[in-house]
Structure 1
Amino acid sequence: MRNFSFFYLLLDREPSSANNFHQDDEKEPTKIFANLSDNNHLINTTMCGFPALCSADAHRECFDTPLYACDACGHARTGIFIFVITITAILILICNFLVILSVYLTNKQRRKHIEYLKGSLAVADMMNGIQIMFVTLPNVVWSLRLSSSEIDRIQFALRGSVKATIGGIFFTLIYSSSIYHLLLLSLQRFAAIRWPIWYKTKGMQHMPLMIAIVWATAILAASVPTWFPDSFVFAYSASVFLFVPAFDSLDALFTSGLQVISGFFLLPYLMMSALTVATGLIVRNTMERSRKLSGFHHKKTSFNKETRVLITLTCMEIGFTVTLLPNTIVVLMFYFGQLDCDSFSIPYLISFYLSTLNSLVNVAIYSFRDETFRKNILKVFENLFSCCKKKKKDFQEFGETPAQSPPTPRVSLSTLISISFLFDKSKQ
């Protein structure tokens, strides 16, 4: 029976009365045991998945050898992985900081409610970079110093721990906050198109409160697994080097699991998509009526601006879906038996960290679609360049030798003649 979760999977084996590691089993040397059932019988389990920096034989070949010294783990692959995720984290942090800076630089009189929402979404996206920098990279480093048996012991020891719970909630919050921010953006666009007068006068007066509600709901959704300790558990996944939510059993998936996923993640996503589609239909119908009434020569109005904003939002939602789709497919392939524990880790690792690129998608879309964002960022770089240029000039002037005499001013011949003429005239 498979214990299914979003990002952490176990493969249950036959019951066993033993309560220690079967080191004499050559094929599966890293078996662990956990009390996973209500009647307190022990189920012999094998951790499904391994550090994708190593081959599928790493569990056996690296049983007593640290991964960095084991032939089953490639140093080149490790170096490339660390380099790629480091660059990704740096880009996520810098690019989303520029979004927040752009919101700050926008004139208060011209600053709209959607700007604050963009800044809040950028904070949510920055959390992905923070997680990679301060969770993934340290976990990669200490994993390389451990053997496969030690990693299995640590994975088992961390299941349900305070550290795993905090890390798992933060992990889930990254995705829940993105979904709820996009849902609020979709709701805002729908209200702006459907009830434009109400929207401009009263609709978005309480945007700070709405943003606070979004964050509160996202945190609530991320902490839901802690409400059902008999069904959910936060655990460490060696495949992606992160703390993630998991299900204790397949029964938990089909009972509490589906309810939580549907209520707190799938339903908001469907509502977001439905609102965007409905807004698009209203825009199309309104534009068609406008063309008929004006004889296909209608002027540009504020409605056209709202349409451009809707297109930007649609691109953001498509980017969110596309970046998460590969990881969802990999998990479903494992669940339906297309992937097993030996072939699961590498595609899962790649698809998972591809999903983190969602934190860069919004910035890329702003760069092409948002003129205000482009102007603000160009202004930042222009000021930075001029500041660096001025500092370089001051440094060069400061570096001149103090003892050096100032240059003698040069006087032209015409100036001397004029001075001489004035002097002679004064004598007369």
Structure 2
Amino acid sequence: METTTAAVYNVTGNASPCGLPPFCSSDAIFQCQKTPLKDCPACSKSSAAGILSFLIIMGVLTVIGNILVLLVTASIEKKKKTKRDYAKMSLAVIDFIKGLNMLAVACPHLIKALDSTVYDLYMEVELSRRSVLATALGVLTIFIFTSSLNHLLYMSVQRFLAVQFPFKYRQVTTNQTILQLAAVWVISVVTASVMAWNHSSNNFVYHPSLFQYFFALLESSLFYYELVPMAVLFFGPCLFMIITTIVTTHLACCKVRRSARALRREDSTTKILKQHLWMFRITLSMNISFIAGIVPGLGVFISFYNGSLTCSSVSVPFFIGFYLGCSTGLLDVIVYSVYDRHFRTEVYNFMAKACHSKQHPPVRQRQGFSPKTTRATNAV
């Protein structure tokens, strides 16, 4: 069986990535070489419909939720916007791209896969090698993960500076904050493109198990030399982000208690602690949700390269791990809605303004006056 599997994967004599669509069993390699997957007994139509529904629902909710975050945050007066608001808007753009990527890339490829045979899928894999499209979309896929991580790391560092160096933190201007966020974007792009620097290797290909373009899962120990730099660039920021958040929380609690004791005000201690704790709870919740979404995917990679998972068994775990990571774009919106009372207040104000403008439109629109007549009426 392994010989036959290898023959199917090696369409052009190169090592091909592993995995089939998650709604197909490993028997599809033999039963669906000339039969479309929608008619193949080794593939489940109901499972395919469920996966497609999942991608559409999660993609739509992610897109709508982050558009709401952008609209609500942008509607805040410029003087009232905080540094955190700008970081929130920047992260919302990344999360919006996550949802759009599921709708614009994954869903069409899933529908196309149903009308394809196994041979067609792996020919598509081979044709995608070294192509500009595969490289661009593969880098984009990695970028949406590294950029989310770097934004959360930036927000954690900002909380640390606000607590440890409050006076210097207040002196940071809006333009400086925007430049810092631009630097986060640039670093994320550079980090995501590391795998594309060595163009001689077949890094980015189409993955039938993800319906996305991603770097290849090669059955070769040499891939460790490419995986290790990505792991270092990913695990390093994750670890630093967790340590920064924990240290910041500890410093804030200690400073608040010391200042409250000096003032001998028990009520002020409770009030200040609550103000700090809800901000740290938001940051910590976002960090935990991101790590919880990413760890399963990293576990799949480790399991595959140490031999616990094989080409015939990696498809479903790879799909689950990958889209759990994509779900962080929706989880951020949920965290804002549950823990950020300022965000809930702004959403309420935004909705109230929108409803009020519909119920009470301007005089010119309601009565059909011309602009000149309206201005004259207002002047009187």
TM-score range, shorter chain: 0.7 to 0.9
Deviations 1:61-120 (A, max 9, x none): 111011112121111111111111101000000000111111111122211111011000
Identical counterparts, % of pairs: 27
2: distance between equivalents of 1:378 and 1:81? 34
**After the TM superposition, which residues 143-182 of structure 1 pair with which residues of structure 2 at under 5 Å, given as runs?**
143-182=113-152
1: distance between equivalents of 2:217 and 2:8? 21
Asked whether the 8 Å contact 1:319–1:361 carries over to 2, the reply is: yes
1: distance between equivalents of 2:32 and 2:156? 50
In the alignment, structure 1 residue 139 sits paired with structure 2 residue 139? no
In the alignment, structure 1 residue 293 sits paired with structure 2 residue 262? yes
Q: In 2 relative to 1, CA 307–200 (structure 1 residues): closer, same or farther, beyond 3 Å?
A: farther
Give the counterpart letter for 1:198 in structure 2.
K
Structure 1 position 216, deviation (Å): 0.8
Q: 1:356 aligns with which of 326, 329, 346?
A: 326
SS in 1 for 2:203: strand
1: distance between equivalents of 2:344 and 2:354? 15
Asked whether the 8 Å contact 1:58–1:72 carries over to 2, the reply is: yes
Asked whether the 8 Å contact 2:16–2:218 carries over to 1, the reply is: no
**After the TM superposition, which residues 323-402 of structure 1 pair with which residues of structure 2 at under 5 Å, given as runs?**
323-385=293-355
Give the counterpart letter for 2:10 in structure 1.
I
1: distance between equivalents of 2:52 and 2:239? 35
RMSD (Å) for aligned C-alpha atoms: 2.5
Asked whether the 8 Å contact 2:152–2:287 carries over to 1, the reply is: yes
What is aligned with 1:253?
223
Q: In 2 relative to 1, CA 252–31 (structure 1 residues): closer, same or farther, beyond 3 Å?
A: closer
Structure 1 position 139, deviation (Å): 0.7
Higher relative contact order (CA 8 A, sep 6+): 2
2: distance between equivalents of 1:351 and 1:317? 17
What is aligned with 2:181?
211
SS in 2 for 1:244: strand
SS in 2 for 1:243: strand
1: distance between equivalents of 2:8 and 2:139? 28
Asked whether the 8 Å contact 1:231–1:256 carries over to 2, the reply is: no
Structure 1 position 265, deviation (Å): 2.1
Asked whether the 8 Å contact 1:231–1:252 carries over to 2, the reply is: no
Give the counterpart letter for 1:283 in structure 2.
A
In the alignment, structure 1 residue 115 sits paired with structure 2 residue 93? no
Give the counterpart letter for 1:161 in structure 2.
S
Deviations 1:23-72 (A, max 9, x none): xx5x66623255xxxxxxx55x4642101121221111111011112121
Deviations 1:307-341 (A, max 9, x none): 43122101110010111122222232222222222
Structure 1 position 261, deviation (Å): 3.1
In the alignment, structure 1 residue 30 sits paired with structure 2 residue 8? yes
Structure 1 position 344, deviation (Å): 1.6
Asked whether the 8 Å contact 1:232–1:247 carries over to 2, the reply is: no
SS in 2 for 1:299: helix
Q: 2:241 aligns with which of 272, 282, 287?
A: 272
TM-score, structure 2 normalization: 0.86
Asked whether the 8 Å contact 2:17–2:217 carries over to 1, the reply is: no
Structure 1 position 366, deviation (Å): 0.9
SS in 1 for 2:35: coil
Further displaced range: 147-156 or 200-209: 200-209
TM-score, structure 1 normalization: 0.77
2: distance between equivalents of 1:204 and 1:288? 31
What is aligned with 2:250?
281
2: distance between equivalents of 1:202 and 1:344? 48
In the alignment, structure 1 residue 83 sits paired with structure 2 residue 53? yes
What is aligned with 2:364?
none
Give the counterpart letter for 1:286 in structure 2.
K
In the alignment, structure 1 residue 50 sits paired with structure 2 residue 28? no
Q: Which structure has the larger Rg over C-alpha atoms? A: 1
1: distance between equivalents of 2:238 and 2:72? 28
Unaligned runs of 5+ in 2: 362-380
Unaligned runs of 5+ in 1: 1-12, 15-24, 35-41, 392-428
1: distance between equivalents of 2:159 and 2:11? 52
Give the counterpart letter for 1:32 in structure 2.
N
SS in 1 for 2:80: coil
Asked whether the 8 Å contact 1:29–1:60 carries over to 2, the reply is: no
Asked whether the 8 Å contact 1:312–1:365 carries over to 2, the reply is: yes
2: distance between equivalents of 1:88 and 1:48? 26
SS in 1 for 2:216: strand
Deviations 1:166-222 (A, max 9, x none): 110110110011011111101110100001111112476610100110111111111
